[in-house]
Amino acid sequence: MGGGIPIATIGRDTWSYVELDAKEKEVVSEVFDYGIRHLRRILPEVADTIAGQKQLALTWAGVAKATFPIRKSYNFPTVGSDLGVAWLFPGAIKYATTASSTYPCYTSYTTNKWTISLTAGTAAYFFGDGTNFYQASPTDGKHSFILVFNDGIIEYGSTPKIDTFRLISRAKQNYGVYTVQPLIEIPVEKGLTVYQYPTPLGALPISYDSSKAVMWGFMPRESGTATIKLLGLVFYEHELYPDLSSTWIS
């Protein structure tokens, strides 16, 4: 289901799927393509990595559509009862100020920012918190589904602080760590302090379904504040993000 791109299913091997119609494919393609066009202008090396994952985006848009309880169609921009697709932004990951069983958006990200406060020797998390697993928005009428692209972890503005990662799911919790090659401090784009971490387990789909919840953490070797952006898409029901105020979590 990845168009040749590895997928981090991590014990979540069965997914529902519905084929998108021609218009929906145009919608998802339009959103994907405009992101790639701009990314190529500023980070061409990174853009080349992500551009080949268009079929992945289309496929998992179909998975997300099949997953949502009420069958709706994609549109851009969204109105009424549409499904939307957007590039990941902070409010799509941490969609509530305080994570809870009702809003299981457990993460180390600062609310409304791409920053994470790190302490050397203390684990931090893109998704989850070491005890609680992460789910996309499970609220009725406001469901979401996240897709993080393969090799879609980008840190910039400082020396990279991470060597070791661990990705597990509620369905499979016995996976150990994985590491990156030791020259991660070499920028991916010449002249820019931009660094790209590999994702050897593949692209990561994240459902609102609690049985498919995930936890993705890492161990920083240095303290400080890191700016780490995840390149991916969020598929969602219109009422989750109907206006600008809904994208600012407060």
Q: Which H or E run includes 65?
A: helix 54-67
- What lies within 8 Å, CB to CB, of 249 at 6+ separation is 90, 91, 94, 95, 96, 97, 111, 112
Q: Taking a C-beta distance cutoff of 8 angstroms, is the pair 170, 106 a contact?
A: no
178 class by beta-carbon count within 10 Å (0-12 exposed, 13-18 middle, 19+ buried): middle
Which residues of the chain carry a pLDDT beneath 50?
Answer: none
Q: Taking a C-beta distance cutoff of 8 angstroms, is the pair 204, 214 a contact?
A: yes
φ/ψ of residue 214, rounded to 5 = -130, 165
pLDDT of residue 189: 82
Q: For tokens 């790190």, what's the residue?
A: 118
Distance CA 112, CA 93 (A): 9
- Summarised one tens digit per residue, pLDDT across range 196-236 is 999 999 999 999 999 999 999 999 999 999 999 999 999 99
Specify the pTM.
0.96
* ∠ CA 2-240-112, rounded to 5°: 85
Q: Which H or E run includes 168?
A: strand 162-169
Q: Where are the domains of the chain?
A: 22-238
The pair of three-digit structure tokens given for residue 34, joined into one six-digit string:
């405009």
pLDDT of residue 63: 98
- Summarised one tens digit per residue, pLDDT across range 51-74 is 999 999 999 999 999 999 999 999
pLDDT of residue 2: 65
